[in-house]
Structure 1
Amino acid sequence: MAQGNNNKAHATSKDIKALVHHDTGLDEAIHFERSLTFLQACTLYPSAILWSAFVSMGVIMLAFDPQLLGNLYAMPQFRKDFGYLYKNDCIISAPWQTGLSMGNPVGQVVGALIAGYPMERFGRKWTFGTCVALTACLIFIQFFARSLQVLLVGELLGGLVLGCYAVIAPAYSSEVCPMALRGVLTSYVNLCFVIGQLLGNAVCAGTSKLSNHWAYSIPFALQWFWCLVILLGLAWVPESPWWLVRRGKLDEAEMVLRRLASDKVDVGKTLTVIVETDRLEQELEMGSTYWDCFRGVNLRRTEISMGVYCTQVLSGIYLINYGTYFFQLAGLDNDEAFDMGIGFLAVGFLGTIISWPLLIRYGRRKIYNTGLLVLVVLQIIIGILDCIPGRPSGVIWTESSLMLVWNFFYDISVGPVCFVIISEASATRVRSKSIALATAAQGALGCVMTVAIPYMINPDQANMQGKLGFFFGGLTAMCLVWSFLRVPETSGRTYEELDILFERKVGARQFEKYVIESEGVD
């Protein structure tokens, strides 16, 4: 009845039972979704694209905050008002850099885990709105802070809320779009990270020459702009149809689907697919709690989600938060460092956009593993260059330029593909909690890097400069080995098919070519 490659024996009575329950309408809906091209999906689902992008704006705030802090350490007026004198210049001590920068990763740990509960109880929409309102209130602490102690409180409290956006955005995007748009819209979350970081660099570059507190107060105040835009549009944001189905609100789910799609789409059949997938996951006893993320087949799916997200940290992404400061320490003057910091993120913006046609053409696994390999090579080269005696100016500029190349390849592969994989690898019933766990794991590693990086790069500490390439190159190489063995190809599969593939324990390297054959399934 059910077979596929050499794994016929892995088929269970439950997944076979689920497969043969397909009716004609369900088969037609699945066939319709598979047949859609990217451009056709854009035409048929314009509202889904709009609202997915709208909810992802929360990630811009999440990325803006740590990037802002990293630039403040390089801002003369901020160092003068909050730092101490060291070798004829003011600096912020490594312990205070660590403490201030902890707000964001700690927030991702605690905030992400907290977000999983209201997202399932109250839905994606109202959890998102509450977080934005809280963020708007907590910005007041940062804006009026005139001591490192007060600023630390503002960063820690703000980080708790900001961490929720990293869970809400990919979960929402993966649940409001068809399969043809799933890769691009979930990877758009990475573009929002880049936009937030780019704006943080650009704003600080523009205000860094001011000689009063507005040099850093203006960047803090600009965070209110995003809160205002989101709160004004929140009333029209549709709820996730997948969440509504799990709550038994089928009529509301159908109305939401009509808002997300054009009149040419038979939303009744789309609703049937959602209901059927939810029923299959109930039959496979996938559950909907944090504990269920570690039970049975969900354990492997949670491992993949946590692994790809943690790989972002281990490959060196937290250096972006210190980009401008890193370029200063590498030997560039203040203006050159700020310009290089903006260019650093501009190529990341371009890289993320280029990743979209690659995702459509080549899927997830190939891009992800190839990107990791390129990052390893670039990091080792940077480390070797830093060992040249005397570090002449040509070497300094070469190292800085290679960092731009590194960020370009990161944002073609590891950055955007991560958000696609965590959205597709998780079962729909535990998606919010699986993404929350992955975000928390990434945040926990981020805390380690936040402690370590200031001590590794500060001139009064290890002052490693480009030799950080050896450190992160080694970590990235280990991530590449794990990814090759564990990360499957998830593109071109419905959520129901992914449930079956994981249930049958199909190997990561067999996912792409594995054939599911059964009655009612093409």
Structure 2
Amino acid sequence: MEKHEEATGVGQEVSRDEKGDNVHIDVTRDITRAEHDLGFRQALRQYPTATFWAMFFSIAVIMSGYDGQIIFSFYALPAFQKRYGNPIGDGYEIPAPWQTALGMGNPIGQVLGALASGYPMERFGRRWTLAVCCVWSVGFVFVQFFATSLSMLCAGEILGGLAYGFYVVIAPTYASEICPLALRGLLTAFINLAFVIGQFIAQGVAAGLEGREDQWAYKAPFALQWLWPVIILIGLPFAPESPYWLIRQGRKEDARKALEKLSSSKNAPDIDQVLLGVEQTDLLEQEFEATTNYWDLFKGVNRVRTEITIMVYLIQVIAGNPLIGYANYFFEQAGLNAADSFDMGVGNTALGFVGTITSWFLLNYFKLGRRTIYNTGMWVMTLLLFIIGFLSIPTNNKGAIWAMASCMDVWTFIYQMTVGPICFVIISEISSTRLRTKSIALSTAVQSFFNIISTIAMPYMLNTDQANWGGKAGFLFGGISFFCAIWCHFRLPESKGRTFEELDILFQRKVPLRDFKTYDLLAETELGKVETA
């Protein structure tokens, strides 16, 4: 047994064998049981401000979803085409290479921003890092707003995208570290809703301005991006810092104050007990992780945790999500004019909004596990992709094209109800707290890198003057989705109802991933105490 009296001041003990493979819940047994017994409604009453601040930090993700969607809508915007495009026949068109370059601005920025986010988040904390990123965003929206050429606009997209890479790392990290176990699923799944809200607003703005022929048809959507960082900068001075980060900085009293701000004054939990649980989790992870750099993500059991976080995030891109961005394309193929296609695109995004809300009921009302929801979604989505592929076989069949478009709507709903939001729950839970920022950062960078590849490949797959696959792309994504679903069946553990300390112990013991759901650490600990007595 090793004691850590200096770090905690209470003489806590961590039980483990010489190899560190057999750790036990000892001091925090009662704390862990209390976390398990805490219901959703009771947790909301105890942590109302934690709920608010987790959602508040997610506003930053709205910007990422908005920017990634709005730039694509400009390609079909007459005023934008006239200002930046080349004359083609009776109209104007944005050159294909520039369409690709502009589309890659956001994901390229996210790759670089995500990889760069680890150090400042650990050095300066979540609040200060978010504040600097908001100021950065304000500055580079100016570049987009006043861009006089496509090259200037592309530079603004890439440099602005650096901040988006930070946002999608900060939001889930912060949400997972300030809320209790009962709220963790809802508040980390909310990150996906923030993405959808951003996309929904972008689709609505594009549809509303589609008929304008002046410069405000594209300048107004850019100007709207100033709203979000200003709101965040006004609220940040009042936001509490992550207690886990404060404990790692040796600022125990500040961590206590943060927990007090995050909880209710009337229905407050035992702050000393909660603080003890945070300290114990950090101490336990120090037993296994001497440092906290990117290389540690690939050492020991962290290799498995890193594999899981990367894969569940990567699946968003490689298993069919790029097709959502081309929903308008299928609507136009079905015979709709540009304005109606934009309206249908708004409807597609609205389905995503409803799907994400539905995932909250699956998590909290029906109490389904993360693994159950994610795996079920994967198999249904795979089936729908193959249906889209088969529907594309009849050529020039309007009924089949409408059926494909409808299947894409259903696919969007299922995706946003399962894989989309649950991904953020999993990546926020599976990684260790000491490596969480770097784990989410690396996963975000990998996902964004493959998003770049899809941005380049999709036009060549779908355009009539290229491969002209159309709905046949469903076969490609369906095949990839099938193998991803098999991976999920064997490699995705159940993290529902597990504290961060429990997950650390399960991974350290090398418990089979499919047994995470049934492995009872609390009963085992109590049995050991009875036998010792």
Is it true that 1:387 corresponds to 2:389 in the alignment?
A: no
Q: CA deviation at 1:396?
A: 2.3
Q: In the superposition, relative to structure 1, how do residues 47 and 461 fare at CA in structure 2: closer, same or farther (>3 Å)?
A: same
Is it true that 1:346 corresponds to 2:350 in the alignment?
A: yes
Q: Alpha-carbon deviations, 1:222-269, whole Å to 9, x = none?
A: 001111111111111110000000111000000000000123311110
Q: CA deviation at 1:88?
A: 5.3
Q: Alpha-carbon deviations, 1:371-414, whole Å to 9, x = none?
A: 0111111111111111113222x222221111110000000111
C-alpha contact (below 8 Å) 1:15/1:280 kept by paired residues? no
| Equivalent position to 1:175, from 157, 174, 177 | 177
Q: Distance in 2 between matches of 1:284 and 1:521?
A: 23
Look up the match of 1:7.
none
Is it true that 1:276 corresponds to 2:283 in the alignment?
A: no
Look up the match of 1:337.
341
- Secondary structure at the counterpart of residue 132 of structure 2: helix
Q: CA deviation at 1:426?
A: 0.1
C-alpha contact (below 8 Å) 2:21/2:509 kept by paired residues? no
Look up the match of 1:70.
72
Look up the match of 1:315.
319
Q: CA deviation at 1:317?
A: 1.8
Look up the match of 1:294.
298
Look up the match of 1:145.
147
Q: In the superposition, relative to structure 1, how do residues 200 and 331 fare at CA in structure 2: closer, same or farther (>3 Å)?
A: same
Letter in 2 for 1:245: I
Output aligned runs, 1:91-102, within 5 Å. Answer: 91-102=93-104
Q: In the superposition, relative to structure 1, how do residues 330 and 453 fare at CA in structure 2: closer, same or farther (>3 Å)?
A: farther
C-alpha contact (below 8 Å) 1:27/1:520 kept by paired residues? no
C-alpha contact (below 8 Å) 1:129/1:231 kept by paired residues? yes
Q: In the superposition, relative to structure 1, how do residues 521 and 277 fare at CA in structure 2: closer, same or farther (>3 Å)?
A: farther
Q: Distance in 1 between matches of 2:18 and 2:501?
A: 15
Q: In the superposition, relative to structure 1, how do residues 440 and 16 fare at CA in structure 2: closer, same or farther (>3 Å)?
A: closer
| Equivalent position to 2:117, from 115, 118, 122 | 115
Q: CA deviation at 1:43?
A: 1.1
Look up the match of 1:37.
39
Look up the match of 1:105.
107
Worse-matched range after superposition: 453-462 or 340-349: 453-462
Q: In the superposition, relative to structure 1, how do residues 252 and 93 fare at CA in structure 2: closer, same or farther (>3 Å)?
A: same
Q: CA deviation at 1:80?
A: 2.8
| Equivalent position to 1:415, from 417, 420, 423 | 420
Look up the match of 2:360.
356
Look up the match of 1:303.
307
Q: Distance in 2 between matches of 1:70 and 1:479?
A: 28
Q: CA deviation at 1:521?
A: 8.9
CA RMSD of aligned residues (A): 1.9
Q: Distance in 2 between matches of 1:245 and 1:520?
A: 32
Look up the match of 1:518.
525
Q: CA deviation at 1:470?
A: 1.3
Larger RCO (alpha carbons 8 Å, 6+ apart): 1
Q: Distance in 2 between matches of 1:495 and 1:521?
A: 22
Q: CA deviation at 1:466?
A: 1.6
C-alpha contact (below 8 Å) 1:66/1:321 kept by paired residues? no
Q: In the superposition, relative to structure 1, how do residues 355 and 75 fare at CA in structure 2: closer, same or farther (>3 Å)?
A: same
C-alpha contact (below 8 Å) 2:374/2:419 kept by paired residues? yes
C-alpha contact (below 8 Å) 2:327/2:408 kept by paired residues? no
Q: Alpha-carbon deviations, 1:139-162, whole Å to 9, x = none?
A: 011111132111111111111111
Q: CA deviation at 1:77?
A: 2.1
Output aligned runs, 1:212-227, within 5 Å. Answer: 212-227=214-229
C-alpha contact (below 8 Å) 2:382/2:482 kept by paired residues? yes
Is it true that 1:497 corresponds to 2:497 in the alignment?
A: no
Look up the match of 1:189.
191
Worse-matched range after superposition: 377-386 or 463-472: 463-472
| Equivalent position to 1:366, from 368, 372, 384 | 372
Q: CA deviation at 1:13?
A: 4.2
Look up the match of 1:324.
328
C-alpha contact (below 8 Å) 1:487/1:508 kept by paired residues? yes
| Equivalent position to 2:251, from 244, 249, 266 | 249
Q: In the superposition, relative to structure 1, how do residues 330 and 112 fare at CA in structure 2: closer, same or farther (>3 Å)?
A: farther
Is it true that 1:79 corresponds to 2:86 in the alignment?
A: no
Q: CA deviation at 1:464?
A: 2.4
Q: Could you tell me the TM-score, scaled by structure 2's length? A: 0.92
C-alpha contact (below 8 Å) 1:69/1:101 kept by paired residues? yes
C-alpha contact (below 8 Å) 1:82/1:92 kept by paired residues? yes
C-alpha contact (below 8 Å) 1:36/1:180 kept by paired residues? yes
Q: CA deviation at 1:288?
A: 1.2
Worse-matched range after superposition: 70-79 or 172-181: 70-79
C-alpha contact (below 8 Å) 1:113/1:437 kept by paired residues? yes
Q: Distance in 1 between matches of 2:486 and 2:444?
A: 22
Look up the match of 1:131.
133
Q: CA deviation at 1:174?
A: 0.2
Q: CA deviation at 1:203?
A: 0.5
Q: In the superposition, relative to structure 1, how do residues 424 and 507 fare at CA in structure 2: closer, same or farther (>3 Å)?
A: same
| Equivalent position to 2:61, from 52, 59, 62 | 59
Q: Unaligned 5+ residue runs, structure 2?
A: 2-15
Q: CA deviation at 1:103?
A: 1.2
C-alpha contact (below 8 Å) 1:326/1:457 kept by paired residues? no
Q: Alpha-carbon deviations, 1:13-46, whole Å to 9, x = none?
A: 46588536x33xx333222211111111111110
C-alpha contact (below 8 Å) 2:169/2:444 kept by paired residues? yes
C-alpha contact (below 8 Å) 1:74/1:324 kept by paired residues? no
C-alpha contact (below 8 Å) 2:21/2:508 kept by paired residues? no
Worse-matched range after superposition: 505-514 or 325-334: 325-334
Q: Distance in 1 between matches of 2:330 and 2:122?
A: 41
Q: CA deviation at 1:97?
A: 1.4
- Secondary structure at the counterpart of residue 102 of structure 1: helix
Q: Alpha-carbon deviations, 1:39-84, whole Å to 9, x = none?
A: 1111111000000000011000011001001111122222232233
Q: Distance in 2 between matches of 1:146 and 1:468?
A: 36
* Percent identity over paired residues: 50
C-alpha contact (below 8 Å) 1:330/1:465 kept by paired residues? no
Worse-matched range after superposition: 356-365 or 282-291: 282-291
- Secondary structure at the counterpart of residue 288 of structure 1: coil
Is it true that 1:203 corresponds to 2:205 in the alignment?
A: yes
| Equivalent position to 1:266, from 246, 270, 277 | 270
Q: In the superposition, relative to structure 1, how do residues 414 and 286 fare at CA in structure 2: closer, same or farther (>3 Å)?
A: farther
Q: CA deviation at 1:107?
A: 1.5
C-alpha contact (below 8 Å) 1:67/1:322 kept by paired residues? no
Q: Distance in 2 between matches of 1:326 and 1:211?
A: 25
C-alpha contact (below 8 Å) 1:73/1:325 kept by paired residues? no
Q: In the superposition, relative to structure 1, how do residues 302 and 521 fare at CA in structure 2: closer, same or farther (>3 Å)?
A: farther
- Secondary structure at the counterpart of residue 248 of structure 1: coil
